[in-house]
Amino acid sequence: MLEINRLSVAYGNHLALKDVTLAMKSHETYCLVGESGSGKTTLLKAITGLLGEGGRYIEGEVVFEGKELISLPQPELRKLRGAAIATVHQQAGSAMDPIMKVGKQFHEALSVRAKISRRESDRLAQECMKTLALKEPERILKSYPGMLSGGTIQRVALAMAMAMNPTLILADEPTSALDVTVQVEVVGTLKKLQENCSAAMLLVTHNIGVVARMADKIGVMLDGRLIESGSKAQVLSSPAHPYTHMLINSVLNKKGRLPMGPTIYHEEKTQGCSFYNRCPLGCGLCRETLPQTREIGSDHRVMCRLAGEKYAQ
Ligand SMILES: Nc1ncnc2c1ncn2[C@@H]1O[C@H](COP(=O)(O)OP(=O)(O)OP(=O)(O)O)[C@@H](O)[C@H]1O
């Protein structure tokens, strides 16, 4: 249902996505992981044509339900964004109008897809909120966003995505701006959404626990490239790329980066693999040339010539 083929995107002279190829099937949840700045958000924005000022497509294509989106006229793209593709942001509250009650915002969002009465949109909104176990949906609909907690707003945004009846949900770190206890609730809502909505989901998260709970497939991003992809079992249980291995076994620092550890001994920035200067395996060839992506299992792909070799943590 979604195919991204050899996509490269730049902000000014900086290549934020480099030759990314990824495919998703209907109803599948694909989790994108990677350090801060690796290109996850850019990939979501590139799908819906919302790169913003300074962002431009260099090459590649984004095919959604048979339509190439990069070349699609803006009005058609806008229509897709309001209907077949729903987006949930890290801080959904900031995407909402602070001076419009939640019920009206549901109505406006749903009206993009088809003509709908306020009464019907209220009914649908309440039904979705109940399905996702939100308490007091009537009160929520009559509230302004600022009257609701951050966790409730995130859960309302998930209910809004569900009410749109999309075929694809793009969720960018929907839990990461929340306190840990609230995150647990929102992940529960995300899980309910996955179970009750037949949409495919492309979910960006730093949280490996969320990945373990939600993913069918996982894609790992490093410096704008997809360096490993495969099923949840393949990537979490048998990570092949040393970077994936470290991501799974480390806690990212406050900047969302891997902590510098004793295995990091190369100094130079390189033309080859972006992980070379931090890799415990890296050889001279890794520094000189970019490895090819190769298939090491059914649908398990990795961009590392030394993948799978044993190394000490
Ligand atoms: N609007 C922009 N203008 C210039 N550079 C940008 C812009 N947005 C992103 N970038 C750059 O593109 C690269 C990828 O950024 P992106 O936000 O996609 O990463 P990310 O993996 O989503 O990070 P995070 O986890 O911190 O959200 C980074 O180097 C970032 O600085």
From ligand 1's centre to the CA of 34, what distance in Å?
A: 12
Ligand 1: nearest atom to the Cα of 41: 22
More confident residue, 185 or 59: 59
For residue 259, the CA-to-ligand 1 centroid distance in Å is 19
Ligand 1 interacting residues, C-beta cut-off 6 A: 11, 14, 16, 34, 36-42, 52, 54-55, 256
12: alpha, beta or left? (left if phi > 0; alpha if psi -120 to 50): left
Is 0.80 surpassed by the pTM of this model? Answer: yes
State how far the Cα of 252 lies from the Cα of 233, in Å rounded to an integer. 22
| CA-closest residue to ligand 1 atom 29 | 37
Region 214-238: mean pLDDT is 95
Query: In which band, very low, low, confident or very high, does the pLDDT at 180 lie, cut at 50, 70 and 90?
Result: confident
pLDDT one-digit tens code per residue, 13-53: 999 999 999 999 999 999 999 999 999 999 999 999 999 88
Q: How many CA atoms lie within 13 A of 44 on its CB side?
A: 25
54 contact partners, CB below 8 Å, separation of at least 6: 11, 12
Q: Is the pLDDT score of 2 beyond 70?
A: yes
**For the chain, which domains are there?**
27-37+74-84+167-259+267-297+305-312 (3.40.50.300), 96-165 (no CATH)
Question: How close is the Cα of 39 to the center of ligand 1, in Å?
Answer: 6
Atom of ligand 1 nearest to the CA of 38: 21
Which mutation among 7, 8, 9, 11 tests ligand 1's pocket best, with the greatest number of atoms within 8 A of CB? 11
Confidence of residue 267 (pLDDT cuts 50, 70, 90): low
Residue nearest to atom 24 of ligand 1 (CA): 36
Strand partners, 218: 31, 230
Average pLDDT for 139-161: 93
pLDDT for residue 300: 95
Residue nearest to ligand 1 atom 16, measured at CA? 39
Q: Which atom of ligand 1 is nearest to the CA of 34?
A: 21
Single-letter residue type at 82: G
Nearest CA to ligand 1 atom 9: 42
Q: Could you tell me what percent of the chain has a pLDDT over 70?
A: 95
Residue 89: which of 29, 150, 140 has the closest Cα? 150
SS (H, E, C) 207-264: CHHHHHHHCCEEEEEECCEEEEEEEHHHHHHCCCCHHHHHHHHCCCCCCCCCCCCCCC
Alpha carbon separation from 297 to 231, 263, 285, 301, 308 (Å, rounded): 10, 27, 24, 7, 11
Residue 289 identity (one-letter amino acid): T
ipTM over 0.95: yes
pLDDT in tens, 93-104: 888 999 999 999
In this structure, the residue with its CA closest to atom 3 of ligand 1 is 11
pLDDT at 288: 86
Ramachandran sector of residue 299 (left: φ over 0; alpha: ψ -120 to 50; beta: rest): left
Q: What is the DSSP letter of 145?
A: G
Query: Mutate which of 20, 33, 36 to test ligand 1's pocket (most atoms within 8 Å of Cβ)?
Result: 36
Q: What's the pLDDT band for 268 if we cut at 50, 70, 90? A: low
Classify residue 146 by its DSSP letter. G
For residue 41, the CA-to-ligand 1 centroid distance in Å is 7
pLDDT of residue 262: 46
Task: Give residue 181's pLDDT band: very low, low, confident or very high (50, 70, 90).
Answer: confident
For every residue of 267-302, DSSP letters joined together read -S--SS-TTGGG-SS--HHHHHSPPPPEEEETTEEE
CA of 100 to the centre of ligand 1 (A): 30
